[in-house]
Structure 1
Amino acid sequence: MKKLKYWTLATCLLLFFLSGIQPAAAVSNQPINWGFEKSRNHKSANPGEPLVKLLNKYDAFFMGDPSQKYIYLTFDNGYENGYTEGVLDVLKKQKVPAAFFVTGHYLLDQPNLVKRMADEGHIVGNHSWHHPDLTKVTDERLKKELDSVKEKTEKLTGYQGIQYLRPPRGVFSERVLAKSKELGYQPVFWSLAFVDWHTNAQKGWRYSYDQMMSQIHPGSILLLHTVSKDNAEALDKAITDLREQGYIFKSLDDLMIDRTFHQPYFFSL
């Protein structure tokens, strides 16, 4: 079964490369801050039709099929604050796959945690080496930012697969999307998030839990930061209670397969 999944993912990657790519130099570099109208009453988050069309043009995505009660759990790891090990313990206990988007600093500072992520079946994604605004760097620098993370991750983990990219701070442009695709990276945004990264202004586990439960919707790509004590303490209960509501936790690899072979464009508004 695992070999079949790897073969399927390889096919996805081939189709991704063969799809049309507009040269990055020919498109706008106007910065865009990723954002959306938050989910209410479990309806899909809505970034608006222009953004949806732009993401679809470059095979980027921010959520899965809104008709399926799937959740895709992702974390951004810029630096370690002592909670990632506990997060991994919860995921292992609950048998939940996740994606961790890491920076160069994180790879150098926490190689054992990165290895554990990969060893336990999680995706180690690309959050750039220095966490810059990618709209302000040259094409050459952008390539170096992404390739450095890719190469270090592969060296640490032995993992080679679809290179998922999360632009730092959610700032991007059409040029960034075009260049990323040209380089073989798959941009991943999100449809559920909240302010959780201020380590000196944590509000208690209930805040994190309530945000997750109130914004959840079918096809959610959930973004959490592992520096948050609130997230670490809320995660176990949130997973349990979301499963009781009928949600299933799936991997970004599963989403990639679904998009490629079943319903490539989920995001019609």
Structure 2
Amino acid sequence: MTLGRGRSAAGVALVAGALWLALGVTHPTPAAAVGVSRLTARTNTPTSTLNLRTCAATTCPAVRSIPHRTVLTLTAATGDWFKTSYGGRTGWVHSRYTVLRGTPARTVSRGPTSRRMVSYTFDAGSDLGHTGAILDFLAAEGIPASFGLTGRWAEAHPTTVRRIADDGHHLVNHTWDHGSFTGFSTGRAALTPARRTEQLVRTNNLVLRLTGTSTRPYFRPPYGDHDRGVLRDVGANRFGTNVMWSVDSLGWKGLTAAKICSRVVGSMAAASSGGNGYIILFHVGSASADAQALPCITDTLRDRGFTFGTVPQVLSP
């Protein structure tokens, strides 16, 4: 389409918008994007250049060609796309052709074995389940714990999220919707850097808004799926600690409370240093009997001389 010399910028935008609508093409609105800060990437297009487009879709016009290994400052993420500026123009680049820059996250699954302390961690991503009973138990026993929250769960249960924080528990970013970052456990493609960024930042923004507390720098990967690329991307987003676990209760698989107790305390008894520094994975959902197993596990561990702390407390030297 050829535009007349006297066509205004607003007119161009209207004509372009009408064309996209006529073609049945829709694009994310700016409000759908998640703003990011202190995030940079290097372009990764060894045999070509990367297009800077006017919006977050391959159907949008390219306004600049960005050479291989160019360092870009990123300001927003939506879907597979990052917003950035280059050559005096602001637009969107496909994040598949970028490599986020920063210090990769370190993976932890156990704290120092010199101290007889363990950490209870509870993942929350399905239903509200037994969260109330778990919080009541922890409060009665004076146990601080860590909770891995998905954004969708936090959005659905804001009052409970506030209680978790008000009760002094530690909050871990468990992504927005519990999608595997690598695709290993779900049989899907790995998420692009922009999608990983959006999952992390959107969740953190919500938790921060609800509680006044950031989930940085703690991240727990859905299904435990992570690789070098995931560690690079979450680290670049300032989630420097990838929280795994020493033992999974397997309550989510339908084990009875008695079997959960036996599994957890038995695993610790068989481990080096008797399980000192263990990070124990539980779930809050109604499908799990983890809540019912807590009294047995706690009594047994206290009899063995254990104390309890959050993940940061257990990881501290």
Aligned sequence identity (%): 28
Q: Does 1:127 align with 2:174?
A: yes
Per-residue deviation, 1:81: 4.5
Q: Which has the higher contact order (CA 8 A, sep 6+)?
A: 1
Larger radius of gyration: 2
**Structure 2 unmatched ranges of 5 or more:** 1-40, 45-103, 183-189, 269-274
Per-residue deviation, 1:203: 3.9
178-187 or 158-167, larger mean C-alpha shift: 158-167
Deviations 1:138-186 (A, max 9, x none): 1111000000110000000111364310000011110101111111102
Q: Which residue of 1 aligns with 2:279?
A: 221
Q: Which residue of 2 aligns with 1:40?
A: none
For 2:243, give the aligned amino acid: V
Q: Which residue, 262, 269, 292 being the options, matches 1:233? A: 292
CA RMSD of aligned residues (A): 2.3
When the two structures are superposed, what TM-score results if normalisation uses the length of structure 2?
Answer: 0.60
For 1:95, give the aligned amino acid: G
State the alpha-carbon separation in 1 of the partners of residues 315 and 42 from structure 2. 23
Question: Aligned pairs, how many?
Answer: 205
Q: Which residue of 2 aligns with 1:181?
A: 235
Q: Which residue of 2 aligns with 1:193?
A: 248
For 1:236, give the aligned amino acid: P
State the alpha-carbon separation in 2 of the partners of residues 191 and 61 from structure 1. 9
**Contact 1:207–1:230 (CA under 8 A) maintained in structure 2:** no
Per-residue deviation, 1:23: 7.9
**Contact 2:154–2:207 (CA under 8 A) maintained in structure 1:** yes
State the alpha-carbon separation in 1 of the partners of residues 294 and 195 from structure 2. 36
Structure 1 pair 247–23 and aligned structure 2 pair: CA distance change class (3 A): farther
**Contact 1:61–1:189 (CA under 8 A) maintained in structure 2:** yes
State the alpha-carbon separation in 1 of the partners of residues 212 and 236 from structure 2. 23
Q: Does 1:66 align with 2:113?
A: yes
**Contact 1:125–1:165 (CA under 8 A) maintained in structure 2:** yes
When the two structures are superposed, what TM-score results if normalisation uses the length of structure 1?
Answer: 0.71
Residues 14-33 of structure 1: pairs in structure 2 closer than 5 A: none
State the alpha-carbon separation in 2 of the partners of residues 98 and 194 from structure 1. 15
SS of residue in 2 equivalent to 1:72: strand
Point out the structure with the larger helix share: 1
Q: Which residue of 1 aligns with 2:56?
A: none
Residues 106-121 of structure 1: pairs in structure 2 closer than 5 A: 106-121=153-168
Q: Which residue, 103, 113, 123 being the options, matches 1:76? A: 123
Q: Which residue of 2 aligns with 1:3?
A: none
For 2:284, give the aligned amino acid: T
Structure 1 pair 138–203 and aligned structure 2 pair: CA distance change class (3 A): closer
Deviations 1:237-261 (A, max 9, x none): 3112211101111122223442xxx
Per-residue deviation, 1:24: 11
Q: Which residue of 2 aligns with 1:96?
A: 143
Point out the structure with the larger strand share: 2
Deviations 1:4-50 (A, max 9, x none): xxxxxxxxxxxxxxxxxx9897xxxxxxxxxxxxxxxxxxxxxxxxx
For 2:213, give the aligned amino acid: Y
State the alpha-carbon separation in 2 of the partners of residues 208 and 24 from structure 1. 48
Moved over 2 A (4+): 22-25, 57-60, 160-163, 255-258
State the alpha-carbon separation in 2 of the partners of residues 161 and 230 from structure 1. 26
**Contact 1:114–1:124 (CA under 8 A) maintained in structure 2:** no
